[in-house]
C-alpha cells in the first residue's frame, strides 16, 4: 500500500437463483482468487447470495435462513485473511426484510448495510432503512453493526475510508454516496443488479465516471450477471471501477470473474484538498478495520504522456478545443486593445510555429487580413539555414508579412559596450541575444501599433527555461498553458489537416527539428545547442510536471510512477537525475513566473501567478530533492 495505492476488485460470481450454497461456493472461489492476487477490498453484486431475481421467494423463511447459512460459509472461508469482502444478501430485522450488503473480514461480519433508497419492483419485497445504527445479535450476524450511514476506516491507512451503497444509487434523487463522500469516504462501493438494455452500458459508464468525478472518489460498481433469471430481464455483469472521473478498470460483459486494479488514495486526497469536496461530519458511524501493510505492485495503466490523449479521435477533438481556446483568448485581447497587428518572433521551432498558427486563426475569426501578422526572424550567431528557411516558408503559406532583422551587429556592439568577449559563450552570451530579440519585437510592435505575441510554453516556464525580460516577456502569451509534448501534437494536428501540401511539409519538417534556442554557433551548419541535452527530455519533464502539480505527488511517488510508465525508455538513474533537476529548477525559477504576461488557460494545470500557481519565489526545494 505504498504511495497510497491499494489493490481492489469487483467481481461477478456465477449464481443459481435461490441456491444459496452453490452461490456461496462461487463467491468463495472469487474470494480465494482475490486473496492470491493480494486484493484488499472485494466488492460483489447486490443480492448475489440468493440471486437478485428471486422475487416473491424473498418472503420465504427458507431463502432468508439459507442466505444466513451461506454467509456463515463465506465467513468461515475468510478466517486468517485481511481481505474485506462486500457481499449482497437479504436480511430480516425486526420483522422486515432489507436488501443488504454484508462486510466480511477474518471470519466475522463486521457490518450489515441496508439499502436506503428502494425503488422499482424491489419495493414489493424490501423495506427502506432510515433508522439509527444498531448492533445485531445472534447467528452469524452476532455483534455486527447494522446501519446505512457507516464508513469503514482502515487503522493502518486512514486515507482508505469506504462506504457501501446498495441498489441503484447512481440515479437516485438523493444519493447516499453523496452523503458518504461529504462525511469523508474516499471510496464508494455500490453493490448493484442493473439489467442490460441497448445503450445501457454507455449510460452506466457515464454515470459511474460522473459520480466519481463530482464526489472526488474511487467508485467500485459490482453488477449482477450470469445465472440471474432471464424471465423478463438480462444481466450482463458489467462492472466498473472509476477514480476521480476516469474509468480505470472495466469487466467484460456477459462474463464472470474478477476485475482487479489499484486505486490511488493519495490522488483522491490531493484532489479533495483543492476542491474541498469532503467536510468531515458526525453523521456517519465509523467502523474500524485493520489491514496488513505491504507494497502494492502496480497493474493499472500509468499514462506516459498524461497531457496527450492516447485515443486519436479524442486527441483530435482536444487539439481543436485547445486551438480554439488560444485563438479566442487572443481575439478578445486584440479586440479590446483595438490592435490590428501582431508581432511574433519566429525561429522555425515548435513554439513560435504554434503561436503563428494560433494568431492566424484569431485574425481569421476577427476578419482581419493575415498580412497584419508580422513574422520577424532575427538571425544571430546560432541561427541555421534550416530553421530560418522553415520560418519564412511557414509565414508565406499563412499569408503573413515576413521580415528579417539581423541582430548580430547590435549584439556585438552591446557586448563591446559591456566588455564581454564574443569568445565567451557563457549565459551572458546567450541571454544578450534573447533580450535583444525581445527589444526588437517590442519596438516593431510600437511602429505598427500591434502587440508582441509570446511563444514560451508551459514546460519551459515550469523549468524556468526562459531569459528573464527576454523571451520571458510579451504582451500576450498564447502558449503559456501548453506543455511541450502537447505543443508537438497541436502542430501535428494542423499539419495532418492542412489543405496545402507546402504547409503540411514545412510543419512536418519543423516537427522533425531538434528543440533549440539557437544561441550558440552551429557546428558544420547544424544546430549545436539542443535543449533536451541541457535540461533533460521534455517527455520526462511533462510527466513530472503533471504528477507534481495535478496530483500533488511526492518525488518518491513520481519516481516510482515514471519508472513504471517510462522505464522502457529511460533507466532509473536517468529518471532520478532529471527529476532532481526538474524539482530544483521548478522551485528556484519561480521568480520568473511571478511576473508572467497574460495568456489563456487551457487545462487544470497552469503557472500564471493570477490563478494557475500561487507559490512563493523563495520556497526551498529541499523536501523535493530527497530521492
Averaged pLDDT score across all residues of the chain: 92
- Cell 487544470 appears where? 604
Q: Do the Cβ atoms of 461 and 596 come closer than 8 Å?
A: yes
Beta-carbon contacts of 446 under 8 Å, excluding residues fewer than 6 positions away, are: none
* Intra-chain end-to-end CA distance of the chain, in Å: 19
What structural domains does the chain harbor? Answer: 2-289 (3.60.110.10), 312-625 (3.40.50.620)
Helix (H) or strand (E) holding 43: strand 41-43
Spatial separation of the C-alpha atoms in residues 61 and 92, rounded to whole Å:
9
Q: What is the largest CA-CA distance in the chain?
A: 100
DSSP state of 232: S
For residue range 343-353, list pLDDT tens digits in order: 999 988 899 99
pLDDT of residue 276: 65
Q: Do the Cβ atoms of 398 and 358 come closer than 8 Å?
A: no
CA-based Rg of the chain, rounded to a whole angstrom?
Answer: 30
Of 173, 151, 182, 154, which is closest to residue 164 (Cα–Cα)?
A: 151
Beta-carbon contacts of 498 under 8 Å, excluding residues fewer than 6 positions away, are: 504, 507
Nearest 10 degrees: CA dihedral of 317, 252, 266, 191? 120
pLDDT of residue 383: 67
Q: Do the Cβ atoms of 285 and 149 come closer than 8 Å?
A: yes
pLDDT of residue 440: 97
Q: Could you report the average pLDDT of every consecutive run of 10 residues in the chain (627 residues)?
A: 92 96 97 96 97 94 96 96 97 94 97 90 89 88 93 95 94 87 95 93 95 96 94 94 96 95 95 71 82 89 95 96 98 96 93 97 96 94 75 93 95 96 92 95 96 97 94 96 96 94 93 67 58 86 96 95 96 96 96 95 92 92 89
Of 55, 52, 46, which is closest to residue 221 (Cα–Cα)?
A: 46
For residue range 377-420, list pLDDT tens digits in order: 999 887 677 777 888 999 999 999 999 999 999 999 999 999 99
Phi, psi of 314 (to 5 degrees): -65, -35
Strand partners, 98: 91
- In terms of Cβ atoms closer than 10 Å to its own Cβ (0-12, 13-18, 19+), residue 303 is middle
Q: Do the Cβ atoms of 151 and 160 come closer than 8 Å?
A: no
Q: At what angle do helices 484-496 and 501-511 cross, to 10 degrees?
A: 160
Amino acid at each position: 500500500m505504498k504511495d497510497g495505492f491499494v489493490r481492489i476488485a469487483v467481481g461477478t460470481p456465477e449464481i443459481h437463483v435461490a441456491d444459496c450454497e452453490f452461490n456461496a461456493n462461487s463467491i468463495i472461489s472469487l474470494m480465494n482468487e482475490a486473496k492470491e492476487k493480494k486484493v484488499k477490498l472485494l466488492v460483489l453484486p447486490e443480492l448475489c447470495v440468493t440471486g437478485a431475481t428471486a422475487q416473491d421467494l424473498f418472503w420465504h423463511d427458507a431463502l432468508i435462513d439459507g442466505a444466513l447459512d451461506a454467509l456463515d460459509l463465506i465467513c468461515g472461508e475468510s478466517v486468517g485473511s485481511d481481505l474485506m469482502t462486500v457481499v449482497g444478501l437479504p436480511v430480516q430485522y425486526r420483522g422486515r426484510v432489507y436488501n443488504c450488503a454484508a462486510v466480511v473480514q477474518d471470519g466475522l461480519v463486521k457490518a450489515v448495510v441496508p439499502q436506503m433508497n428502494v425503488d422499482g419492483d424491489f419495493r414489493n419485497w424490501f423495506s427502506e432503512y432510515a433508522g439509527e445504527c444498531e448492533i445485531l445479535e445472534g447467528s452469524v450476524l452476532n455483534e455486527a453493526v447494522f446501519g446505512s450511514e457507516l464508513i469503514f476506516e482502515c487503522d493502518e491507512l486512514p486515507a482508505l475510508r469506504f462506504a457501501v451503497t446498495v441498489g441503484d444509487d447512481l440515479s437516485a434523487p438523493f444519493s447516499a454516496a453523496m452523503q458518504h463522500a461529504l462525511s469523508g469516504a474516499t471510496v464508494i462501493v455500490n453493490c448493484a443488479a442493473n439489467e442490460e438494455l441497448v445503450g445501457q452500458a454507455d449510460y452506466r459508464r457515464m454515470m459511474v465516471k460522473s459520480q466519481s468525478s463530482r464526489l472526488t472518489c474511487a467508485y467500485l460498481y459490482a453488477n449482477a450477471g450470469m445465472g440471474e433469471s432471464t424471465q423478463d430481464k438480462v444481466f450482463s455483469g458489467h462492472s466498473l471501477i472509476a477514480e476521480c472521473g476516469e474509468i480505470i478498470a472495466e469487466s467484460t460483459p456477459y462474463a464472470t470473474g474478477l476485475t482487479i486494479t489499484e486505486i490511488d488514495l493519495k490522488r483522491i486526497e490531493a484532489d479533495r484538498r483543492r476542491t474541498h469536496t469532503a467536510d468531515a461530519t458526525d453523521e456517519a458511524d465509523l467502523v474500524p478495520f485493520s489491514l496488513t501493510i505491504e507494497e502494492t505492485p502496480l497493474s493499472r495503466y500509468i499514462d506516459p504522456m498524461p497531457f496527450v490523449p492516447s485515443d486519436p479521435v479524442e486527441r483530435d477533438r482536444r487539439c481543436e478545443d485547445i486551438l480554439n481556446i488560444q485563438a479566442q483568448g487572443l481575439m478578445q485581447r486584440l479586440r479590446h486593445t483595438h490592435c490590428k497587428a501582431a508581432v511574433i518572433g519566429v525561429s522555425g521551432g515548435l513554439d513560435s510555429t504554434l503561436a503563428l498558427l494560433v494568431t492566424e486563426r484569431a485574425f481569421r475569426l476577427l476578419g482581419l487580413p493575415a498580412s497584419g501578422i508580422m513574422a520577424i526572424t532575427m538571425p544571430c550567431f546560432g541561427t541555421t539555414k534550416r530553421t530560418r528557411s522553415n520560418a519564412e516558408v511557414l509565414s508565406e503559406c499563412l499569408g503573413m508579412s515576413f521580415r528579417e532583422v539581423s541582430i548580430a551587429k547590435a549584439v556585438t556592439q552591446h557586448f563591446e559596450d559591456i566588455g564581454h568577449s564574443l569568445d565567451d559563450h557563457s549565459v551572458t552570451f546567450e541571454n544578450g541575444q534573447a533580450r535583444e530579440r525581445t527589444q526588437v519585437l517590442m519596438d516593431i510592435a510600437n511602429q505598427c501599433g500591434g502587440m508582441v505575441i509570446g511563444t514560451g510554453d508551459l514546460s519551459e516556464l515550469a523549468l524556468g527555461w526562459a531569459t528573464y525580460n527576454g523571451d520571458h516577456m510579451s504582451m500576450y502569451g498564447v502558449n503559456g498553458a501548453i506543455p511541450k509534448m502537447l505543443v508537438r501534437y497541436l502542430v501535428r494536428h494542423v499539419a495532418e489537416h492542412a489543405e496545402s501540401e507546402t504547409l503540411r511539409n514545412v510543419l512536418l519538417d519543423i516537427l522533425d527539428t531538434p528543440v533549440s534556442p539557437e544561441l550558440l554557433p552551429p557546428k558544420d551548419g547544424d544546430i549545436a545547442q539542443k535543449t533536451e541535452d541541457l535540461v533533460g527530455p521534455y517527455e520526462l519533464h511533462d510527466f513530472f510536471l503533471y504528477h507534481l502539480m495535478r496530483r500533488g505527488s511526492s518525488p518518491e511517488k513520481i519516481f516510482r510512477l515514471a519508472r513504471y510508465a517510462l522505464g522502457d525508455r529511460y533507466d532509473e538513474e536517468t529518471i532520478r537525475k532529471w527529476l532532481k533537476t526538474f524539482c530544483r529548477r521548478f522551485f528556484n525559477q519561480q521568480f520568473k513566473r511571478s511576473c508572467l504576461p497574460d495568456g489563456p488557460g487551457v487545462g487544470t494545470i497552469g503557472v500564471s501567478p493570477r490563478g494557475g500557481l500561487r507559490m512563493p519565489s523563495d520556497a526551498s526545494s529541499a523536501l523535493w530533492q530527497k530521492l
